[in-house]
Amino acid sequence: MTRPLSALLLALPLAACSQANGAPSNEGIDLAEAVAAAPRELVMESPETQFATWTVAENGHAIHFANPGQPPLLSLDCRLNAEPITMAIIRHAPAMPGQSALFAVMGNGHVSRLPAEPTLKDNEWRWETSLPAKDGALDLFIGPGDMRATLPGKGAIAMQPSRIPGEFVEWCRAGGATVNAPVEKPSPEAELSAG
């Protein structure tokens, strides 16, 4: 009996605060209306990604998922100088300082809901989440299945199966070393000249 009464006593001042000075209550808020009321440049439809592919960045420390000839929609950025080594998942979509969201990424039998924050980098505000490269949440990029990344108000990105993200995650986890590289055996002549 005490618990419901204490909850009721706590709720009364909160309800009064929301109605004070004519402030509207939060009852009956329609999420579709809230999205429609947001500035148009901040709300995005899901992009068409039928022909989008992964490419390696010029510095070799990131990969980008983009439609041909278009800016990236999603990037994975391996930060080898961080301690521990960190992987950033970047959603290239308009963002404003002070916002936050849960970035849902799923693929290869895994689902990760990652907190994303607006970050200013390379002259753009974008959504970014970072975690240690060895974090199991990144396993969703490893495997032959397709993937999907959804950010509220920014649409969903569908990614066709590709070996590139998995290889990139494994490369990052290995500290930038080539994973499963063939070991080159020296020729008998080279062994003789070395001895």
pLDDT digits (tens, 9 = 90+) for 53-100: 999 999 999 999 999 999 999 999 999 999 999 999 999 999 888 899
- The pLDDT assigned to 177 comes to 87
Q: Is the pTM of this model over 0.85?
A: no
Mean pLDDT for the chain overall? 79
Q: Give me the half-sphere count of Cα atoms (radius 13 Å) on the Cβ side of residue 153.
A: 22
Tokens of 174: 């290995």
Give the C-alpha separation, 141 to 15, whole Å: 45
Number of folded domains in the chain?
1
Looking at the DSSP bridge assignments, the partners of residue 117 are: 128
The answer to whether residue 16 sits within a structural domain is no
Is there a domain that residue 164 lies in?
yes
Domain membership flag for residue 75: yes
Give Cβ neighbours of residue 26 (< 8 Å, ≥ 6 apart): 18
Residue 184 · residue 190 · CB < 8 Å: no
Please tell me the total number of residues recorded for the chain in this structure: 195
Q: Is 175 left (phi over 0), alpha (psi -120 to 50) or beta?
A: left
Q: Could you tell me which of 156, 171, 187, 189 has the C-alpha nearest to residue 57? A: 171
Structure token pair of residue 170: 């494994």
Tell me which residue range forms the domain holding 148: 50-173
Is 73 a member of any domain?
yes
pLDDT at 170 over 60: yes
Contacts of 39 (CB under 8 A, 6+ apart): none
The pLDDT-based confidence of 43 (bands split at 50, 70, 90) is: confident
Domain membership of residue 135 (yes or no) is: yes
**Domain CATH number, residue 162:** 2.60.40
Q: Is residue 4 part of a domain?
A: no
Determine, yes or no, domain membership for 107.
yes
Look at residue 25 and tell me if it is in a domain.
no
